[in-house]
Chains A and B, each alone.
Chain A
Amino acid sequence: MTAVALDGIVLGLQFGILGVGLTLVYGLGGIVNLAHGQMAVLAAIVTARLIDSGSPAVVAAFVGVVAVSVLGVVLDLTLMRPVYRQQGEHRVLLGLLLMLGVGFVIDGLLEWRYPIEALSLRFQGDPIPVLGVAMRRGSLVASAISVAAGGVLVMLLRWTTFGRATRSVIQDETGARLCGINPAAVRTVVFGVSGALAGLVAITVAMTRPVVSTDGVNLTTFGLIVAVVGGLGSVPGAFLAGIILGVVNTISAFYIGSYVSTILLLLAAATTLLLRPRGLLGIG
């Protein structure tokens, strides 16, 4: 039981980072990034290709993450421009549809060019005991990276001028403009950060199991569930929801089966929304 719970936390931390990337972009500009998981997989495949061609894993992973971050910035500056000109519901729907299309394109390209490519990052050495459970080194490194990324992100948002500006745009965009903050510039930077986070998730997942080129849709779905349960726009909410859902998912997958566990996950999400329509820590 402890072993399953610990595995759940490992997965939950990855879910958390996945949800945070989605929730930030949604909170800032109303874009539901339905290509988030596909962007993550793209980072994994770029990394895998580089490793195949002889790059050291650390360098390859770094390039993979940066590449997807740049993709995020480019998408924000091009495809999302007409979306930001819309208001309210129109903006959400148009953004959702365009990003769905981006997801299809990435999926299609990966399946066409690299159908059997997979990223698997292994660590040499014996398992390390944690609370009496022998944990694989990959799981521990993945969790350490997730925790570090989450911690750095929270600190940046809380204590830096740019982080404060980011939160101000989420809370009141007009107020932010009146303070001299350019919401468009904040959105562009954060879309890049969100892309980097997606890439980081793929890298950490690859430390626990192989990431294959068709994993995108699943990752997007999990990220979306986490972001909604945590409360769209809330970073701490996404972390909390990620860990809870990771544990729920792993326990149910272990005792019942992985197909049922996804249904349970959706049920947990739906229940949360019925009880707390704005999510666990939703703002607004």
Chain B
Amino acid sequence: MTDELLIVDSLSAGYLGEDVVHDVSLTVAAGEVVAVIGSNGSGKSTMLQSVCGLLAPSGGSVRFDGVELAGVKAHRIARSGLVYVPAERHLFPHMSVRENLFLGAYPTRPSADQLGMVYRVFPRLEERTGQLAGTLSGGEQQMLAVGRALMAGPRLLILDEPSTGLSPILASEAYAALVELRRDGLTVLVAEQQVPLALDLADRGYVLDRGRIELTGTSSQLAADEGVQRAYLGV
């Protein structure tokens, strides 16, 4: 398999010497949308944080486009094109929408085209361009977090729980925007506990339970799985 953009191999990670993620392996090919589903506390965020460099993995390897990322600093990973959108968003609250987007393109000064591209996906952000990020609604903040990540021109976009803190309607809207990005060929790895949303978007998925991959398959296989249905789909 030569076109795998991200290869996570036997990754373990945790806090204060206590692993929360055990021996996780997964891959994402260029152009693919892959979901990691699991309930709250299953280790999704920990796993993603150790992929993007915010957390040092305790074991295993993460290769992005053939380059080992374990031990590489988060800002270097971001600049190499692996861009992470955390569930807490980590926007700059006292800066305008526009300035937040500008920083997404750091260290270059973004072109009007780049801004225009993000504003096409999220017209709402253009309306709010001068508003301080801290005063945006939850849905708008999520748009801005994804928009800021898009400004970097990511080769792989990693989203942690984009539905966090959003009403069902807003969560669906957020996912509608992701469907649009997917159509443009963006490669996405998304962790989500709102399983129906994630499986609608993704080509394939992994089920993470208590820090281990329990199941993997195409989205339709997972949606048809009895265990998944019972645990996450409320069937």
Q: How far is the CB of B61 from chain A (nearest CB, A)?
A: 21
- Interface status of A265 (Cβ within 8 A of chain B): no
Main SS at interface, chain A? helix
Quick check: which of B70-78, B113-121, B184-192, B202-210 contacts chain A, the rest being far away?
Answer: B70-78
Interface-central residue, A168, A182, A183, by most chain B CB under 10 Å: A168
- Interface status of B37 (Cβ within 8 A of chain A): no
Q: Return chain B residues, CB-CB under 8 Å to A176.
A: 75, 92, 103
- Interface status of B84 (Cβ within 8 A of chain A): yes
- Interface status of B107 (Cβ within 8 A of chain A): yes
Verify B93–A180 contact, CB threshold 8 A: no
Q: Return chain B residues, CB-CB under 8 Å to A161.
A: 102, 106-109
Q: Return chain A residues, CB-CB under 8 Å to B107.
A: 161, 165, 180-181
Q: How far is the CB of A190 from chain B (nearest CB, A)?
A: 16
Interface-central residue, A161, A167, A176, A178, by most chain B CB under 10 Å: A178
Verify B75–A172 contact, CB threshold 8 A: no
The listed residue (A175, A180, A182) touching B90 by CB distance below 8 A is A175
Given contacts A179-B103, A180-B79, A181-B106, contact A283 B94 (CB under 8 A): yes
Interface bits B60-93 vs A (CB < 8 Å: 1, else 0): 0000000000000111101100011110011111
Q: Return chain A residues, CB-CB under 8 Å to B90.
A: 172, 174-175, 178
Q: Return chain B residues, CB-CB under 8 Å to A179.
A: 75, 78, 103-104, 106, 148, 152
Verify B95–A167 contact, CB threshold 8 A: yes
Q: Return chain A residues, CB-CB under 8 Å to B83.
A: 178
Q: Return chain A residues, CB-CB under 8 Å to B152.
A: 179-180
Give complex CA distance A183, B54 in Å. 13
Chain A, interface size category, equals 10 to 19
Verify B75–A177 contact, CB threshold 8 A: yes
Q: How far is the CB of B141 from chain A (nearest CB, A)?
A: 12
- Interface status of B173 (Cβ within 8 A of chain A): no
Verify B106–A177 contact, CB threshold 8 A: no
Interface bits A172-202 vs B (CB < 8 Å: 1, else 0): 1011111111110000000000000000000
Verify A165–B103 contact, CB threshold 8 A: yes
Verify A181–B103 contact, CB threshold 8 A: yes
Give complex CA distance A182, B148 in Å. 17
Verify B79–A168 contact, CB threshold 8 A: no
Closest chain A residue, CB of each to CB of B83: A178
12 further contact pairs, Cβ within 8 A, besides A161-B107, A172-B92 = A161-B108, A164-B99, A165-B107, A168-B103, A172-B90, A176-B75, A176-B103, A177-B54, A180-B152, A181-B107, A182-B73, A182-B75
Interface residues of A (CB under 8 A from B): 161, 164-165, 167-168, 171-172, 174-183, 283
| 15 pairs, A vs B, C-beta closer than 8 Å | A164-B103, A164-B106, A165-B103, A171-B93, A172-B92, A174-B90, A177-B75, A178-B52, A178-B54, A178-B74, A178-B83, A179-B75, A179-B148, A180-B152, A182-B75
Interface residues of B (CB under 8 A from A): 52-54, 73-76, 78-79, 83-86, 89-95, 99, 102-104, 106-109, 148-149, 152
- For the complex of A and B, the 10 pairs showing the least CB-CB separation, nearest first, are A175-B90, A180-B79, A180-B78, A177-B74, A171-B92, A182-B75, A177-B75, A179-B103, A174-B90, A179-B106
